[in-house]
Amino acid sequence: MRPFHFLAEAREIVDGRELAARARRAEQTGYHALVVPDHLIEQLAPIPALATIAAATERLRIAAFVFNNDLRHPAVLAQDLASLDVLSGGRLDVAIGAGWNQPEYDAIGLPFDPIRVRQARLEEAIAVLKGAFADGPFSFTGEHYTITDLDGQPKPVQRPHPPFLIGGGGRRTLELAAREAQIVGLAPRILSGQRSDPTSLTVAATAEKIEWVRAAAGERFSDLQLNVYPSTTAVSVTDHALAEARDLAAFLAGRAAVDLTAEELLESPQIFIGSIASLTDKFIRHREELGITSIMVGELGPLDPIVERLAGT
């Protein structure tokens, strides 16, 4: 059974000294990686933030969570990422998705294409990234990107490339992750723009996603790591979990064909409501039953006791 890898998120706008201090704290606590979101909201931009985190630590891995492919040309992103891998001594994970938050697209006049177009663009971008990371020049001709004799520089330390984390809630994106990634992010399914489908949070829906991944991955499935993260509501360490889950169930009522119960929400791999003891038990149970071992827990602090107990075990 794979050991647990816990990821924490650095979202708040702070100066370099404070970000470095938080990164060292994450490393000392036992986190596997400190990640930075990629949104056009109140947060630090991921590339300079990740460089700061890497410079302040020795073992902690770095990643976005996750890069929106539509915000950068993949050849430009490849140079940024390879530079981060060099600067960190080979501690980068390449986490990338198709983009989902329509208001950000609208705010900058970027067309929010149908999901199949965004997924196809992501698939091409991954090919460009891997081509740029590989030895020597490469060319690529697709519907969305054309590369001619580009020798991507610098080359990453990790060969043939840093691990890829590709996440999504739909079958096509998860099948792409199964073929191309080393870490598969099991995300909620997005209905439209930025609203998630509550039924995709359940254990049953997660198990179905994992079966899609298994079928598409074939023999490489045993080498994949499965990742989840808190969604729909904030992490809550509480002794009144059932009451909070009932409130959340009432809030979500009517958003899907079938309403979820409080018990279903508490058992969801992506709802982190409960005591430290109950959440610890849930993470262990989901590893045993679903094979989930990579967990992004949100901000440093609330779930640190779980990380201190389970990280690396």
Per residue in 257-304, pLDDT (tens digit) is 788 999 999 999 999 999 999 999 999 999 999 999 999 999 999 999
What amino acid is encoded at 264 in this protein? E
CATH fold label, 5-310: TIM Barrel (3.20.20)
If pLDDT is split at 50, 70 and 90, which confidence band does 190 have?
Answer: low
If pLDDT is split at 50, 70 and 90, which confidence band does 191 have?
Answer: low
What amino acid is encoded at 195 in this protein? R
Q: What pLDDT digit, counting tens, does each position of 105-153 carry?
A: 999 999 999 999 999 999 999 999 999 999 999 999 999 999 999 999 9
Residue 228's nearest CA partner among 195, 271, 264, 176 is 271
Show the beta-strand stretches assigned E in the chain.
5-9, 33-36, 61-64, 67-68, 94-97, 138-141, 146-150, 164-168, 183-186, 190-192, 195-196, 225-228, 236-237, 273-274, 292-299
DSSP for 82-125, please give it.
Answer: HHHHHHTTS-B-EEEE----HHHHHHHT-----HHHHHHHHHHH
**pLDDT beyond 70 at 196:** no
Asked whether the whole model's pTM tops 0.85, one would answer: yes
What are the boundaries of each domain within the chain?
5-310
If pLDDT is split at 50, 70 and 90, which confidence band does 193 have?
Answer: very low
| 3-state secondary structure at position 242 | helix
